[in-house]
């Protein structure tokens, strides 16, 4: 009989690439991960890993088993949802991931909805960049999360995850010059971007590249309120989403662009019917401001 916990480790190795990354994500030591994967190979009766020095890759049998592991893990999520549905009333912890602009504009109101409708449910909110959502969900650190993508940075399909659309925002060019209405006219400007490794940073770089230039980055800041304050102070131009553009500082000119950011609620495959997930998704939908477009 194949051990489900070991199957999860094999799936994580396929996604993360190294035993060290799996160990760090799941709070194991690398030696413990190696031992568990070796035990899984003995259970399977065939080699699942190829070891060359410090590198480990999956054999064809290992890759095939990962596909079965995805189906098994999804089925277990559905079983957990069915069991939870037999309980009388929602109770316990539900862990929600989000990003800063959505926290203020949507999640706070959603928490109020949840408190009124399900007082025994205990939501716990954590902020993280959407680039880290998939790993956090698969590792069991979150139960569901708000994640976004951009026209120039579409999200790839993530193994083991499902999701439902939540809302769509327009993107704006923030500057202090009312004559600036297109990205090409900012080719020689100083730019304010998010920090490297975030989707927001990649979005700005790719949007500028599509407009025919590489942005000259002066500042790298993740908080959009600070980004707009820097724009107002004359330190550069920036791209900001609609949620961040609701109340710009004096002097900031916002020009709507033919670009969008889309937000969805992501969760583990098979968990869509879990009562807690259903309740949180309903609360989030009820909390979306009317000014935002549906996807």
For the segment 126-171, what is each residue's pLDDT rounded down to a tens digit?
Answer: 999 888 899 899 988 999 999 999 998 888 888 889 999 999 999 9
Confidence class for position 122, pLDDT limits 50, 70, 90: very high
CATH of domain 4-84: 1.10.10.10
Question: 169-260, which class in CATH?
Answer: alpha beta
The structural domains of the chain, with segments of one domain joined by +, span 4-84, 92-166+262-287, 169-260
Going through the chain in order, the beta strands assigned E by DSSP cover 49-52, 55-58, 92-98, 121-127, 144-150, 161-175, 190-193, 216-220, 238-241, 253-268
Say whether pLDDT at 295 is over 70.
no
> What is d(CA 33, CA 267) in angstroms, rounded to the nearest whole number?
25
Say whether pLDDT at 25 is over 80.
no
Instruction: Identify the pLDDT of residue 232.
Output: 97
| pTM score, whole prediction | 0.78
Q: Higher-confidence residue: 38 or 211?
A: 211
> What is d(CA 247, CA 111) in angstroms, rounded to the nearest whole number?
23
Residue matched to tokens 């009388």: 88
> Which H, E and C letters describe 38-74, residue by residue?
HHHHHHHCCCCEEEECCEEEECHHHHHHHHHHHHHHH
Instruction: Identify the pLDDT of residue 86.
Output: 57
| 169-202: pLDDT as tens digits | 999 999 999 888 899 999 999 999 999 989 899 9
Say whether pLDDT at 88 is over 70.
no
Instruction: Identify the pLDDT of residue 87.
Output: 61
Q: Higher-confidence residue: 285 or 85?
A: 285
Structural fold of domain 92-166+262-287: D-Maltodextrin-Binding Protein; domain 2 (3.40.190)
Domains 92-166+262-287 and 169-260 share a fold: yes
């Amino acid at each position: 009989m194949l051990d489900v916990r070991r199957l999860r480790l094999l799936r994580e190795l396929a996604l993360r690439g190294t035993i060290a990354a799996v160990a760090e994500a799941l709070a194991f030591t690398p030696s413990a991960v190696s031992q568990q994967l070796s035990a899984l190979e003995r259970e399977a009766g065939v080699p699942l890993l190829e070891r060359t020095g410090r590198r480990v890759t999956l054999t064809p049998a290992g890759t095939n088993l990962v596909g079965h592991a995805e189906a098994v893990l999804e089925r277990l999520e559905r079983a957990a949802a069915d069991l939870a549905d037999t309980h009388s009333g929602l109770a316990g912890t539900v862990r929600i991931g989000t990003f800063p602009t959505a926290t203020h504009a949507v999640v706070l109101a959603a928490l109020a909805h949840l408190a009124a409708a399900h007082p025994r449910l205990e939501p716990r909110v954590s902020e993280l960049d959407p680039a880290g959502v998939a790993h956090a969900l698969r590792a069991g650190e979150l139960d569901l999360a708000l994640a976004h993508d951009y026209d120039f940075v579409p999200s790839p399909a993530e193994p083991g995850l499902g999701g439902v659309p939540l809302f769509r925002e327009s993107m704006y060019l923030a500057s202090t010059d009312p004559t600036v209405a297109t990205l090409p006219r900012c080719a020689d400007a100083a730019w304010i971007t998010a920090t490297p490794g975030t989707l927001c940073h990649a979005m700005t770089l790719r949007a500028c590249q599509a407009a025919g230039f590489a942005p000259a980055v002066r500042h790298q800041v993740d908080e959009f309120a600070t980004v707009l304050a820097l724009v107002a102070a004359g330190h550069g131009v920036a791209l900001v989403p609609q949620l961040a553009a609701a109340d710009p500082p004096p002097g900031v000119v916002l020009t709507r662009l033919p670009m969008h950011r889309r937000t969805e609620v992501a969760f583990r495959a098979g968990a869509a019917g879990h009562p807690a997930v259903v309740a949180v998704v309903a609360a989030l939908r009820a909390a979306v401001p009317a000014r935002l477009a549906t996807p």
